Structure 1
Amino acid sequence: MPAQESDEPLFPLPLTPLETFFVLDEKESCPIVSFIELQFSTPLQLPVLQNALDEAVKDHPLLACKLVREGERFFWHFDPDLAPQVLTNDDLPLTTGPADNPRTQPFDLFRESGCRFWYVPEETGSRLYVQLHHACGDGVGMRQVLVGTLTRYARATGDPECGKTSRKSSRSAPNPERLRDRNDFSELLSKPPKRSLTTWDRIRNAYYFHFQRPAVLSKPQGFGSASTQKEIESQAIGQPLRHVLFSKEESASIEKACSNASIRVNDLAIAMLFQTFEQWEQTHGGGKAIRYRVMMPVDLRSRRDLNLPATNRLSFAFLGRRKDQCQDIEQLVSSVADEVVAIKETRVHMDFLDGLAAAVQHPRFMRWVIDKSRHMTTSVLTYTGDLSRGMKKFFPESDGQLKIGDAYLRNVFGSPPGREGTNVAVGVCINWGQICISASWNRQAWDAATTDQFLQTYASNWRAWLKRQEIN
């Protein structure tokens, strides 16, 4: 049940098992950080934006915390001086290293908070980047921060009533005390799952997870050569994410085709990943890969969590396919859709959290298991759905953009972090009727041109599926 108001100070706040996992899982070469990219068709007033962020972060104290270790345990310590600042490239470069393989700035969570903002002015507008360490929060929590920041910005730049008419805004004012029960899922578990897992199911799942390792996507032939670097000269370089966008007409057709096929866009996105894996390995890996795996985040929030500040309240489910199961595309799409339903009905994703809760009691064993599980998944896919649906309640739409005070928001992109053994991580969202696919990558194994190549193949598979649906 939700925590009651307490006379005890909120901080120092013990890390949850999931937060501990993100801290221990990180390697310097592969920071566990995600990016959100907001594209504006107008400039922003930087001092006003900073003031808006300062006020918003007061509602989300984990974004102004650092880690302190006491024995084998970690704690969040709040320090208002650690609240994120809106940086420019003059303050701290957004990325480092070569432009064809830009590397993200790491965090030292023992000295600084795990959240940064960058403002990047451009000739035709501006970009706002958010870099978030996964131990501090997930994408759903960061959306709260962004809505709060942009609402305050709008009120200060010409729209004083922004958000005040939204019923949701009055119900979802963040309450920092709720952070005490961010790992309490008793309400969720109070009702039995629609389908129960047997002991044998769990043994089989554990064997699959630990002993049937998925393939790591290969480097393409000619990786790092001048020819591959030349491919991205005409595109934006030095940026932490890569993107591919469908037209609004294509996007509407894809959504309609999914509805006609009784599947969700998320189901299609996962199935097309499996198809792309096998095509990629046939081309670049000699067809040696045997099985593939996709990790899918599962949001565990309920309506009672509307006032939960930015944090992690999610688990992960894993979907796997052998190479021979990636050939029949219609069967692949159908089986993925059925499995996603089964995941939700059985709550198999809770087993991941249960495993972490048990492992965190034995810190040395937990470190050993994490170190031996570097090849956990071939890729990660996060489907955020229609971002505009939730934001329209706060900001009016004008010509396919959101009007935020004196600014116009054109697009929002995001991607989960890559990882050692997970060479590409994909985020899919729908912005004002347009399906957008973004990707981050493992900088030790791939570069920006390789990621572009993968995304183009992935998008081509979406289009080929759509064409077959239209013919049928």
Structure 2
Amino acid sequence: MLADDRVAYPMNFFLRFEFTGSLDQHVLQRSLEESALQHPLLTATICRTAGHWGWQRKLQTTPRLHDMTRQGVAGPLRFRPLDVRHSAGLQAFLCARGNKSELWLQVHHSCADAVGVLHFVRSWFVRYEKLLSGAAQHNLMFPNQRKTWIVPDGQTCRPDLPRWRYMSPRRREWRRLANFAVHRPRRILAPERTSKATPHEAPWPAFVRRKMNWTADAWRRTKAGLPPDASLNDLLVTGLFSTIARWNDDVVKRRRDYSLRIAMPVDLRAATGNVAEARNHVSIVFLDRTSRAIRDGQDLLAGICQETGWVKNHHGAFVLHDVLNALHGVPGGIEALTAPTTCTSTTVLSNLGPLSRYLPHSQRLQLGEATLTDVDFLPPIRPGTLAAFGILTYGDEIGVGMQYDRLRLSPLIAEMLLDRVVSTWEQDLAGG
């Protein structure tokens, strides 16, 4: 998984920024390289030594800005999976179309998560504006030149909590992960198979996106009719469960009981205080529900609120890190957990929240003469997980991006699935 170069299911995610106005490509490239020097894992590759994988930092391994304008005019952009054994785990792509520009970031999940990349983007954009104004220094040095091997600090993976407060609730999360290992959820069902086109022939990433109107006032009115501890994310998880259950029932036309599982990334930075560096510092919480419980629907939202609240209050997300650390010492342990032959999650829901949390702005973000008009987030998918949903709010719009398995879902089916999900979410947000 760390050096995953498979074409169909690489551990890559994407951020897309759409601007109105011109971007200086030369300054954008230079600011990208200089900003990446402050984030060690973005200038490193994975090497194997003494039987273990490790990050080795190299000055020549820096992210690049690729000009995709010619390809973008001819059709949809096509990317290649990143192999972090040979190149940096972050690459940028710029495509100019008239007065509009698309800036894509492709990131390998082993070197950074989406939250870490957005923190990096902030430093990148700040550096870009300084270079445009001539206020930036021109002699940045490569930091920590003598320290080429990056050794992760294991102490940063757990909050500073009394042992009794951490160990006692951990047993409950171990039971959840045991259920994860034993029971396999049903995947999203497709009414039809796609063509037999090879992965190299199809555009990648395969994605669809939608926008939902959202305001803080409207959310306050909706929240008044929800359980007191309900969050926006709880509402989205509940709607996703119910939509996929109805979708599968419509495809199969059977009412047999089965289980669905939503993988929900949890940011660990708030508990550890490590907020600025681009690295993979998230864990995963797996939420399981049976189709029968979803169809009943009475206590679905309340149960989700209770479960996610427990994870937050007792730091349950750190247990997965303990499991992964333990498996690292077992030959073949990680390979067995991430084997591509089984469906580990029905789908993924990753909510990054408002963009202003990472890139402060008032109404619209300005970058020199360019104005950011749209932004999308496409989470990574794994074998068996046919679709992953990414949420990123910009202004009064909630952006919903869905990266899907192009070998099993056709573009038409993917559009239909996302339309159903967004329709449910809009109805729930309206208090319906």
The reply to whether TM is greater than 0.5 is yes
- 1:301–1:238 Cα change, 3 Å: closer
1:334 aligns with 2:302: yes
Shift in CA distance, 297/85, structure 1 to aligned 2, threshold 3 Å: same
Q: Establish whether residue 388 from structure 1 lines up as the match of residue 361 from structure 2.
A: no
Aligned 8 A contact 2:54 2:151 in 1: no
Alignment equivalent of 1:136, drawn from 111, 116, 125: 111
- Aligned twin of 2:313: 345
Q: Which consecutive unaligned segments of at least 5 residues does structure 1 have? A: 1-21, 162-173, 226-236
**1:319-362: CA deviations, max 9, x gaps?**
01100111244521221111110112233222211111111012
2:343 to 368, 375, 386: 375
Distance in 2 of aligned mates of 1:331 and 1:179: 47
Change (3 A) 1:86 1:456: same
Letter paired with 2:156:
F
For residue 371 of structure 1, report the CA deviation from its aligned partner: 1.9
Match of 1:298 among 246, 266, 287: 266
Match of 2:235 among 260, 268, 284: 268
Q: Is 2:286 the counterpart of 1:315?
A: no
* Aligned: 1:83 with 2:59: no
Which deviations, in whole Å up to 9, do the C-alpha atoms of 1:17-47 show, x marking residues without a partner?
Answer: xxxxx42777442000000111112221100
1:80 is paired with a residue of what secondary structure? coil
* Offset at residue 86 of structure 1 (A): 0.6
Query: Do 1:103 and 1:443's aligned partners in 2 also have CA atoms closer than 8 Å?
Result: no
2:237 maps to 1:258: no
Give the 3-state SS of the residue equivalent to 2:418 in structure 1.
helix
User: 1:31 is paired with a residue of what secondary structure?
Assistant: coil
In the superposition, the TM-score normalised over structure 2's length comes to 0.85
SS at match of 1:280: helix
Distance across 2 between alignment mates of 1:222 and 1:186 = 42
Deviation string 1:87-123 (CA, Å, 9 cap, x unpaired) is: 02269x68x9x96xx8641122221111110001123
Shift of 1:413: 1.6
Aligned match for 2:372, one of 379, 384, 409 = 409
| 1:357–1:330 Cα change, 3 Å | same
2:209 matched to which residue of 1?
A: 243
Deviation at 1:138, TM superposition (A): 0.5
Shift of 1:466: 3.7
Instruction: Show CA shifts across 1:279-304 (max 9, x none).
Output: 11012233456110011111111386
CA distance in 2 between partners of 1:223 and 1:403 (Å): 41
CA distance, structure 2, for counterparts of residue 238 and residue 356 of structure 1: 29
Give the structure 2 partner of residue 112 of structure 1: 87
> Residue 281 of structure 1 contacts residue 289 of structure 1 at CA under 8 Å; is this kept in 2?
no
Contact 1:175 1:308 in 2 (8 A): no
Indicate whether 1:188 and 2:159 are aligned: yes
2:154, 2:79 → 1: CA distance? 29
Report the Cα distance in structure 2 between the residues aligned to 1:224 and 1:80, rounded to whole angstroms.
43
8 Å CA contact 2:3–2:85 kept in 1: the answer is: no
Letter of the 1:299 counterpart: D
Instruction: Report the counterpart of residue 281 of structure 1 in structure 2.
Output: 248
State the Cα distance separating 1:386 from its structure 2 match. 1.2
Partner of 1:209: 180
Q: SS in structure 2 opposite 1:429?
A: strand
Letter in structure 1 aligned against 2:279 = T
SS at match of 2:299: helix
- Structure-2 change in CA distance of 1:321 and 1:348 (3 Å): same
Counterpart of 2:140 in structure 1 is none
Residue 277 of structure 1 aligns with an amino acid whose one-letter code is I
Residue 197 of structure 1: how far off its partner (Å): 2.6
Contact residue 4 and residue 83 of structure 2 kept, 8 A: no
Q: Does 1:62 align with 2:33?
A: no
Q: Percent identity?
A: 23
Q: CA deviation at 1:416?
A: 1.3
Q: Does 1:121 find its partner at 2:84?
A: no
After superposition, the C-alpha distances for 1:228-252 in whole angstroms (9 at most, x for unaligned) are xxxxxxxxx8765321101246x75
Measure the CA separation in 1 of the matches of 2:130 and 2:85. 35
Aligned equivalent of 1:168? none
TM-aligned CA distance change 1:189 to 1:215, over 3 Å: farther
Q: Deviations over 1:172-216 (max 9, x none)?
A: xx99999645542376043454893374x3563244111211111
Tell me by how many angstroms 1:405 deviates: 2.0
CA distance in 2, matches of 1:343, 1:459: 26
Residue in structure 2 matched with residue 231 of structure 1 by the alignment: none
Alignment of 1:18-167 (within 5 A): 22-23=1-2, 27-89=6-68, 104-158=79-133
Q: Distance in 2 between matches of 1:132 and 1:259?
A: 39
